[in-house]
Amino acid sequence: MCSSMLFTLHTFFFFSLLIPPLFLAFPFFFFFFFFFFFFFFFFSFLRSLMVIRCKRPCLTPIFIIYSKDIFFLL
């Protein structure tokens, strides 16, 4: 009885130390991943549009590769 009680107190103390840093770090990771995916899809979409308007043949394969990546991810 006493050992299970100590185990419960120990886990509660451990999680009480662990939870506040997670709450502090959550907004940072949320905004980081949000902006990362937003800018990735936004610039990938712009590159896929530039495939149609690109006049330089040297850059066209790069844009075509990125446009294929968009369709693969979507």
Per-residue pLDDT of the chain (74 residues), as tens digits, is 455 555 565 566 666 666 666 666 666 666 777 777 777 777 777 666 665 555 555 555 555 555 555 544 44
Q: Domain extents for the chain?
A: 2-73
Sorted by sequence, the CB contacts under 8 Å of residue 57 that are 6+ apart come out as none
From residue 16, give the alpha-carbon distance in Å to each of 25, 46, 73: 15, 46, 39
pLDDT at 1: 47
pLDDT at 41: 74
DSSP state of 59: T
